[in-house]
Structure 1
Amino acid sequence: MRKIIPSIFERYPDQVRELDLEFCFTKDLYFSAWHTFVSLRNIYSHSHGVIDEDDRLDLLDRISEFRSGYENSFINSESENSLILESMSPNSDDLFDEDKIKTGKFYFIEDKELNIFKSLITKLLWVVSQS
């Protein structure tokens, strides 16, 4: 699962560059978001959403990487829209409430987090489908 996004970026470099230019969706953002959501998917599918200590530590690391990629996507983007998009986007500290990621508890992903993932993937699939 973790190799899907890297293989798309390798196969369609010109198309995925358009995502950065238009939406500030950089390669680092895609990779870190994908790894975060794969970790969440694994928790939901393998332990029915109940987090064990290894899952918690992995998820916290992935979230940290995601936040960095998310913030840097606006800073490092070549998009002329970066300032506008940054002002409309949630702050990275408001994503993935770490206080809710507890061992032995179920983690509910919030709509704002799910919407970011949905936007990333739908834009990626649309750009690649244009090839």
Structure 2
Amino acid sequence: MAKSTRSKVKRSFRAKKRDEGVYAATEAARLQRLNSKLTAKFDDGDEELAEPAEGDAVQDDSTAPDAMELDDSANSSTTKPSRVSTHGPRNSRREEWRKSKGMTPVPKSTRMNRQGLPAARRKSGRPSRRR
């Protein structure tokens, strides 16, 4: 009966194959590869943060009049990397292909609606697929 991958039996058998079965070597290699990537990423980041560049004046924040007392552990964890926007369309494979051919990533709409404005990409109303 239980054909779904949410089935506990199927999940347990898969886990067993990953741990001690035929896929154990592949899974161990994958974990090792991911671990080395993560350690390399954090090692590079620590060097850049720990060493100030030459000519930069090192400012002691504890002598500033408006300084707050901070923990050293909290100070190192609060440095945030630049944020990546997840809003709006992402660069799809189609857009990358168009860029490589020298075209604009998204073709400009040349269609007009009845009011003389650019036509919408999608038509509003009833969906074409019945649910």
TM-score > 0.5 by shorter chain:
no
TM-score scaled by length of structure 2: 0.26
Q: From the two aligned structures, give the one with the greater helix fraction.
A: 1
For the pair shown, the structure with the greater C-alpha radius of gyration is 2
TM-score scaled by length of structure 1: 0.26
